[in-house]
Structure 1
C-alpha cells in the first residue's frame, strides 16, 4: 500500500546518519525560523533501504530556546542524552543550538513555562514524532523486523490537555502521533504504554471514550497531577481501553517486571494493536529528584527490550518511543543509552551505573494487591 504524504507547518528538514545500524533523522533550525515543508512519500525515499536495514531510528528536537534557568525541564536534557549516545559510540555528532530567549509563564498549568521559541519548537517536537511513525511504518512494509523509533524531543507531552499546556508539556506528542497513525497510515488500533513516574493525564483524557486506542499507564500513586486511579478505565465505547496502575512509593525493578508480565503483556495481547507507542519517562529512576519510585537503569533496559519484543510479536515490530520526563541528567542519559542497547540487542551496561546499595526493599505486598485489583477490574 502506497504511503500517504504528510505535511506539518514548521516541520524540520530531515538528515540521515547511519552507524552501527542506527538511523537518525535530525531536525534543523535556520536562523530564527525552521526548515519548512517536509512533504513527501516515504516509499519513494531513496534511503528506504537504510530504513529497513537499521534497527533504531531516532529524531532529535532539543528545543534549545525553550529554557528557564534552574527549571528541571531544561535545555540540558536532550543534549545530555545525545552526548551519552556519542560517548557510547552509538551515533554521530550533530546538534544545533539556539540562543536564549526571554521567559513567559503559563498560569494554571503547573510549573510550565514558555519562551519566544516554544510554540515553533513544540511543533518541531511533535513533527519529529510523526516522521518517526512514518519511517517505522514504511520500514515495516518492507521488512518483518523494522527499526524501533525513539523521539528524543522536548517539551514533553503526556500532561498536555485540549485546553492548553500543563505539567511541563505543551503539545500531546504521543496523542498526536496516535491519531496520525490512524488517519494517515490506516493503523486502526493503537496501544500506548506510559511508564513515566507521573500519570499521563493528557493522553488519558484524549482517548477516554475511544475503543481503538488503549492507554496503559504505570505511575507513582498520588503523584502529580493526582489523576490515574485504578477505577479510571474509560467511558462509553472506550470503557475498558484505559488501564491505570498507580504504584506505591518505592516500587522498583521487581515490581515493574511483574507488572509487565501480568498486566502489560495480557492487555496488549487481548487488544491486538497495529502499532505500539511509548511515553518513555525516565523520572521513575531512583536518582531522579521529582520521583519516589526506585527504577534503575537496568529496569529501563528490560522495559525497552520487552516492549520491542512485544511489538514484534503483536504488530509487525511497529513501535515508537517518545521522551517524557527524566530530570537527573546522569540517570536520564545512562538509561536512554541502555534503552538503545536493548533495541540493538546489545548487552546492558547498567551495572556500571546502578548502585544496588542505595536501593531499599520494595513494597511487594502493596504492588501485588494493586496488580490483582487491576487484573480483576479488567478481567486479565
Structure 2
C-alpha cells in the first residue's frame, strides 16, 4: 500500500510526531495574530463588495473581527515583497464567504477561518515561510460567462435576482436543492470562490512555463461546489468551482485533457453530470456507498463520447486509510497514467475523516497527507506538476483544519503531524474484503 510513496516520504510520516515534540520543547508555541477572529455564538456579519468586478476588498463590519476574503488586502496582513509564483512551493487563495452563513448549519462561516488560523498556528503562511508559500491576494471574481460555461444562464440570472428576496428575508432555501440556503451575499461570495479557483489555475499554469519547481495550488473557498448541477444548486453547493475551473483551463490555457479527482465522502454528482459525455475530462470520485445524494454508482462510467471517462468508486462504510491507499495505487494511478492529463484538479473534501459528523468512513489526518503527497507526485510525473486543490466538505473544524495543515506539509515535503492529531484507539477494522471486491469490479469495468 506504500508503493507509490518513496522511502523518504514514508520516513517523513513516521518522524513527524517526534520532530514536532522536539520543536515544541525548543521553541514553544508563539502567539499568532490572525486576521480571523472566531467568535463563539451567533455572528451576524455583512460582507461589503465594492467594485466587485475589479477584485476589490471584502470585509466584515464588526468591532472585534477583521476578515479579509483575499479579493483585497487588509492592512494587517503580511505580503512578501517581490514574490513570484516560480519561487513558491504552495500557492493558496482564501475566500471565506463570511456573508453566506446560516447559524448552526454544518457548512458554516467558521470553516475557512478555522483552516487559516491553523495554518498560522503551524507557521504555514508567507509570514513564516517567505516565498515558499504564497497567498494570492489580488484576484477577480469569476465572470458570468465563466459560470455559464458549466451552469445554465437561467440559473445564474435567477440566483442573482433572488438576492433581493434573500436581503429582505435574511435567508432563503432554494427549492429542490436539498439543504442549500442563500443569503443576500451568496451570489457575490460564490463568484469570488469560483474566481479564486480560476486565479490559481492561472498561477500554476504560468509557473509551469517558467520553472521546473512547480507550485501546487489550494483554493480555501466556500460555498463548496461539487454537488451543484448545471441547472441549479444542491447539497450546500452553489456553483461548481472545480468544473468551472476545468472549462476555464481548456478555454483560456488550451489544456485539453483535465483529470479531476474527488475524494469527498459524498459523490460529486454535479461535476459528474457536467462532464458525463465529455471525453476530454476524466472525473474520478471515491465516496461512501449509500451516502448523499445517492448517485455515483459503480456502473456509471459516462456515455456517448465520454464513455469510460467517468469512474465512480463507492466505498463501504468503515473504509479508511488502508482502503484509500489501495485505491490510489490500483485505481487512481493507472487511470491517470492512461488518460495523460494536462492538469489535475482535486475536489478536496475532508468529510471522510473518522471524526466528521456527516458520514461513516474513517480516514485520518495521515490519509489526507498521503493523498496530498501522492497526488502532487502524480501531477509532477504526468503534467508538469500542474495541480490545484479545491476545498469541498469537512464539518468537524478540528479534523478539517488538521487535515489541511497536513496537506500543506505534504506539499512542502515536510513530515506529517498525523501522530499528533490522530487517535488510533478510535479506529476499527476496515471492511477490506468489500473494498477489494469494489476495486476489482471497477478495474474490470475500466480495464485497469
Query: For the superposition of Structure 1 and Structure 2, which TM-score range results when normalised by the shorter chain?
Result: 0.7 to 0.9
- Matched residue, 2:357: 289
Q: Which has the higher helix share?
A: 2
Q: Does 1:171 align with 2:239?
A: yes
Contact conserved, 1:129 with 1:177, CA < 8 A, in 2?
A: yes
The size of the alignment, in residue pairs, is 341
Residue aligning to 2:66: none
Match of 2:5? Answer: none
The 5 A counterparts of 1:180-199 are 180-199=248-267
Q: Provide the C-alpha distance between the structure 2 equivalents of 1:104 and 1:30, rounded to a whole number of angstroms.
A: 17
Conserved in 2, the CA contact under 8 Å of 1:232 and 1:244? yes
Following superposition of structure 1 onto structure 2, how do residues 32-111 of structure 1 map, counting pairs within 5 Å?
32-33=49-50, 35-37=52-54, 50-91=84-125, 102-111=170-179
| 2:435 alignment counterpart | 367
Query: 1:174·1:322 contact (CA, 8 Å) conserved in 2?
Result: yes
TM-superposed deviation, 1:92: 5.2
Q: TM-score, normalised by structure 1?
A: 0.87
Partner of 2:205: 137
Q: How well do the aligned residues superpose, as a CA RMSD in angstroms?
A: 1.8
Report if aligned partners of 2:47, 2:185 keep a CA contact under 8 Å in 1.
Answer: no
Q: Distance in 2 between matches of 1:190 and 1:353?
A: 34
1:36 alignment partner, SS class: helix
Matches within 5 A, 1:12-51: 31-33=48-50, 35-37=52-54, 50-51=84-85
Q: State which of 414, 429, 435 in structure 2 corresponds to 1:346.
A: 414
- Is 2:174 aligned against 1:157? no
Residue deviations 1:253-283 (CA, integer Å, cap 9, x gap)? 0000000000000000000000000000000
Unmatched 5+ stretches in structure 2: 1-45, 57-80, 128-134, 138-165
| Deviation for aligned residue 1:145 | 2.4
Return the alpha-carbon distance in structure 2 between the equivalents of residues 133 and 224 of structure 1. 29
TM-score under structure 2 length normalisation: 0.74
Answer yes or no: is the 8 Å Cα contact 2:47–2:99 preserved in 1: no
C-alpha spacing 1:34/1:341, structure 2 compared with 1 (3 Å): farther
Runs of 4+ aligned residues of structure 1 deviating over 2 Å after TM superposition are 29-39, 92-95
Give the 3-state SS of the residue equivalent to 1:141 in structure 2.
helix
Matches for 1:219-238 after TM superposition, within 5 Å: 219-238=287-306
2:336 aligned with 1:302: no
The answer to whether the 8 A contact 1:194-1:281 is kept is yes
Higher strand fraction: Structure 1 or Structure 2?
1
Q: CA deviation at 1:104?
A: 1.2
Q: Distance in 2 between matches of 1:335 and 1:33?
A: 34
- Structure 1 residues 85-94 or 289-298, which shifts more? 85-94
Tell me if the contact between 1:145 and 1:316 (Cα under 8 Å) persists in the aligned partners: no
Mapped to 1, the partners of 2:212 and 2:327 lie a distance apart of: 28
Q: Which runs of 5+ in 1 are unaligned?
A: 1-28, 40-46
SS of aligned partner of 2:394: coil
Which deviations, in whole Å up to 9, do the C-alpha atoms of 1:267-323 show, x marking residues without a partner? Answer: 000000000000000000000000110000000000000000000000000000000
CA contact (8 A) 1:145 1:312 kept: no
Give deviations 1:138-174, integer Å, cap 9, x for gaps: 0000112210000000000000011111000000000
- Once residues 140 and 307 of structure 1 are traced to their aligned partners in structure 2, the CA distance between those partners, rounded to angstroms, is 17
